[in-house]
Amino acid sequence: MSYQNLLITEDNPFITVTINREKALNALNQQTMSELARFFGEDLPQRDDVRGVILHGAGDRAVVAGADIKEFTSLQGEDGANMARRGQAVFFMIERSKVPVIAVIQGFALGGGCELAMACHLRIAGEKARFGQPEVNLGIIPGYGGTQRLIQYIGKSKAAELMMTGDMLGAEEAYRLGLVNYVVPMGEEMGKAKELLAKIATKGPRAIEKVIESVNAYFSTSEDGFETEVKSFGEVTLTEDFKEGAQAFVEKRSANFTGK
Ligand code: CO8
């Protein structure tokens, strides 16, 4: 089946999925989100021969620089909440995949990009990778599960700081905090991901599937937090600050927030 914004490369028993919008730093527009849903929700579950997936972004500047800001500047309230809910559903498909999904991060993993990497089971970062949830710069909050998963990986204290300041983490600090599994020299990220997948593929596929299910089950009590995120996301899209923040990004200037 054909995709517009995803490149699917098969190297049996592994598949590499490349988000292919390099000019927009692979920002997640709705077309890309639909294609990720199709791949992880429909195509991959039908493939008994696949033992693992590598997910990355085209080029080396960004795995994904966030949700596509240019596309959601006019979002409001219930529409915002629905978009966040749909996005969360796509990322749950990745997290609940029966085969391991490894994110390869060569550059920026920001906003929805950091959320996407966190929905994968393992993360390999190049030494120039940078992670962050800079949504507050736009007057909004993470909406694709970031408020919940960032805490799961790095703890409440640091996660709250990152989400409130919009600051970025370098690869080494992301490793120290437990956000990524390995940091490797630039250019070696894919090799490391393939090496890990090959090792996992020597184990029993049903056992790997059950490890994934059981690890996910540990966090199942956080489902209410995901719902709170959806509602909050809808609410912040009603603010004047969101209009100003998104407009400022498009106009390449600093935002002037008023608290309205
Ligand atoms: N959306 C759309 N376009 C983007 C995005 C994005 N997130 N990020 C970068 N681009 C585009 C730029 O507009 C630019 O396009 P053009 O050449 O047409 O002007 C191109 O990619 C290259 O970007 P820059 O020129 O800005 O490159 P720099 O190297 O100067 O800066 C940065 C790189 C630091 C990554 C910068 O692009 C940046 O700050 N990007 C935005 C990062 C961000 O704020 N991400 C969070 C977005 S919000 C989000 O992800 C919410 C998720 C939950 C959504 C819930 C439902 C909607």
Determine the average pLDDT of the residues in 150-167: 98
Residues involved in catalysis = 115, 135
Q: What are phi and psi of 160, to 5 degrees?
A: -60, -40
Structure tokens at 244: 């100003």
- Res 1: pLDDT: 63
What residue's CA is closest to ligand 1, atom 13? Answer: 24
Q: What angle do CA 182, 220, 37 make, to 5 degrees?
A: 70
CA of 58 to the centre of ligand 1 (A): 15
Q: What is the number of other CB atoms lying within 10 angstroms of the CB of residue 75?
A: 24
CA of 186 to the centre of ligand 1 (A): 22
What residue's CA is closest to ligand 1, atom 6? Answer: 68
- Is the CB of residue 144 below 6 angstroms from any atom belonging to ligand 1? yes
Q: How confident is the model at residue 228 (pLDDT cuts 50, 70, 90)?
A: confident
- Is the CB of residue 57 below 6 angstroms from any atom belonging to ligand 1? no
Q: Is the pLDDT of residue 223 over 70?
A: no
Q: What is the DSSP letter of 66?
A: S
Residues 80, 234 contacting (CB under 8 angstroms): yes
- Is the CB of residue 69 below 6 angstroms from any atom belonging to ligand 1? yes
DSSP helix, strand, coil percent of the chain (3-state; round to 5) = 50, 15, 30
What is the tens place of the pLDDT at every residue in 30-81?
Answer: 999 999 999 999 999 999 999 999 999 999 999 999 999 999 888 888 899 9
Three-state secondary-structure class, residue 58: coil
CA of 23 to the centre of ligand 1 (A): 10
Which residue among 19, 25, 69, 230 is best mutated to probe the pocket of ligand 1, counting the most ligand atoms within 8 A of its Cβ? 25
- Is the CB of residue 116 below 6 angstroms from any atom belonging to ligand 1? no
Residues 119, 145 contacting (CB under 8 angstroms): yes
Residue closest to 97 by CA, chosen among 56, 145, 47, 57: 47
CA of 81 to the centre of ligand 1 (A): 21
